[in-house]
């Protein structure tokens, strides 16, 4: 988690106690397994960097689910 910035410095929405969400891009390494029946398919194995973005950018992206 040393490559993950302090998310409370940007647009952060707190929800359900210590949980919440923000917007950002992650440079990461994932497993290549594409078997949708495998619960580890596409699992993140390493995070190399994170860039926080304005929350409105993610909220406007139709490819992303709406936060709950």
Which tens digits make up the pLDDT trace of 32-65?
766 667 766 678 888 898 889 999 999 999 999 9
Q: What is the DSSP letter of 8?
A: G
What residue has token string 């490819």? 63
Q: Which percentage of the chain shows pLDDT scores above 70?
A: 85
Nearest to 66 by CA among 6, 4, 13, 1: 13
Task: Compute CA distances 35 → 17, 23, 40, 44, whole Å.
Answer: 34, 28, 9, 15
**C-alpha dihedral (46, 58, 19, 65), degrees to nearest 10:** -90
Model-level pTM? 0.67
| Confidence at residue 8, expressed as pLDDT on a 0 to 100 scale | 75
Given pLDDT bands bounded at 50, 70 and 90, which one contains residue 7?
A: confident
């Amino acid at each position: 988690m040393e490559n993950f910035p302090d998310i409370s410095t940007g647009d952060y929405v707190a929800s359900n106690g210590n949980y919440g969400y923000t917007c950002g891009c992650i440079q990461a390494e994932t497993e290549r397994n594409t078997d949708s029946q495998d619960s580890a398919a596409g699992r993140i194995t390493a995070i190399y960097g994170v860039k926080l973005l304005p929350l409105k950018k993610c909220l406007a992206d139709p490819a992303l689910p709406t936060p709950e």
